[in-house]
Amino acid sequence: NRMRAIALALPEATEELTWDDVNFRVRKKIFCFPGSGASLCVKAEREELPALLGDPRCRPAPYLARGGWIVMDLEAPVDWAEVRELIHTSYRLIAPKILAKQVD
């Protein structure tokens, strides 16, 4: 799927199965994962949270919201450029600086 392709194209990104759920990691740290149904869970920049949470497609991630994580509904139509940007931002926030610098 497209989310998987975007995530695994990032430097040192891996796909793992934890408790029967797929997640995407960089050096053992999760940077994004599919939410329940058609959704995506990512870490967002603190400055962007108010705008993202003002979008009806986004909501705080259960159990992870305090850390700046959000869930975005991926029901059609999906803006894949926006999804790519969210995944890349999450990766940059989680990855070691040397890897994060390699992502636009």
Enter the pTM of the model.
0.94
Structural fold of domain 2-100: Aspartate Aminotransferase, domain 1 (3.90.1150)
**Could you tell me the residue ranges of all domains in the chain?**
2-100
Q: Which of 36, 43, 85, 82 is nearest to 60 (CA)?
A: 43
Q: The tokens of 51 are what?
A: 């705008």
6-50 pLDDT per residue, tens: 999 999 999 999 888 899 999 999 999 998 889 999 999 999 999
Residue 66's identity, in one-letter code, is R
CB atoms within 10 A of CB 14: 13
Q: Which of 99, 80, 97, 89 is nearest to 31 (CA)?
A: 89
